[in-house]
Structure 1
């Protein structure tokens, strides 16, 4: 049974410990999970409902409570599906759409100066994102192994992009020939 990244993220948080929807939102916010997944606050209950219908999470019998305070637990099937999907996502190289590539593919529409300005703007944003991730990492120390790996991988990707952008953003005005050769 294939899980979307959002489903696997929510299921993984429930596997860590039983949680209700608001608790999931807090964990997602505190850990900066929205930096690398597309889980909106409004989609948490939708995802919980889907996981429950598929038998991957359950709510133990309890006195009637408000829906928002239903505490979800992972089922054995949920744990197995999460493990299989996590292994597949880690071990299989999958194409990831990257909007910056669409912009670069349309480079002929831009002048060199515009392109360099856009690269420099992106470079500044990358630097801000790196600083924010490092601050979140420090704020949550000591980190469990999965969180350390997420931070490490995220920072490595951002550092690689920062390096590429820094090299490209140094193209001097009038260096269109060099830019075209590199492309």
Structure 2
């Protein structure tokens, strides 16, 4: 019974402490979980229902009136499944699909200035994401170890991508500058 990353993330939050769907949404938002996994607000209850059907969580009606929310608790099987899933995802260096690679693989479709502009736009977005994750981290201190490690790993990946983008954007910018001066200076240009 393999869990998707979204199911494992949600189950892990319920293992951390029993919660209802709205509380889970708040934690997901506060911790910036959508930066690294695909859990939409509308999918939280869908995922909880799947986990409940599989016996990994159970829900009790919270006290407090007719509109009381169902609080989800992890079952023993749920805690075991979450631990197995976490171990597997941490230990295995599986390739992670990254949409930017599909764009780069189709680089021959773009003019060099289009590629440079796209790199620059992505760099601005990565800078904004880094700033948002760092702000979320500062706003929630002290964080549970799991949240701290997720943010640390995420920031490391984003900073590595930022470094790669900055180097590529500079190379493209340098090439554009040289091409304005003398097109023969571009790599691959015939003289």
TM-score exceeds 0.5: yes
Name the counterpart of 1:32: 32
Name the counterpart of 2:131: 131
Structure 1 residues 63 and 78: CA distance shift in structure 2, 3 A: same
Question: What is the TM-score when the length of structure 1 is the normalising length?
Answer: 0.91
Name the counterpart of 2:54: 54
Structure 2 residues not aligned, in runs of 5+? 180-184
Q: Give the distance between the partners of 2:165 and 2:34, measured in 1 at CA.
A: 23
Question: 1:93 aligns to what SS in structure 2?
Answer: coil
Structure 1 residues not aligned, in runs of 5+? 179-183
Name the counterpart of 1:70: 70
Structure 1 residues 161 and 48: CA distance shift in structure 2, 3 A: same
Aligned alpha-carbon RMSD (Å) = 1.9
Give, in angstroms, the shift of residue 164 of structure 1.
Answer: 0.5
Question: 1:136 aligns to what SS in structure 2?
Answer: helix
Question: 1:73 aligns to what SS in structure 2?
Answer: strand
Q: Give the distance between the partners of 2:61 and 2:17, measured in 1 at CA.
A: 17
Question: 1:37 aligns to what SS in structure 2?
Answer: coil
Give, in angstroms, the shift of residue 64 of structure 1.
Answer: 10
Give, in angstroms, the shift of residue 176 of structure 1.
Answer: 4.3
Question: What is the TM-score when the length of structure 2 is the normalising length?
Answer: 0.87
Worse-superposed segment, 52-61 or 137-146? 52-61
Worse-superposed segment, 96-105 or 74-83? 96-105
Name the counterpart of 1:18: 18
CA contact (8 A) 1:123 1:166 kept: yes
CA contact (8 A) 1:21 1:68 kept: no
Q: Give the distance between the partners of 2:24 and 2:75, measured in 1 at CA.
A: 17
Structure 1 residues 79 and 66: CA distance shift in structure 2, 3 A: farther
- What's the CA shift string for 1:15-46, capped at 9, x where partnerless? 11111111111111111111111111111111
> Which structure: larger Rg?
2
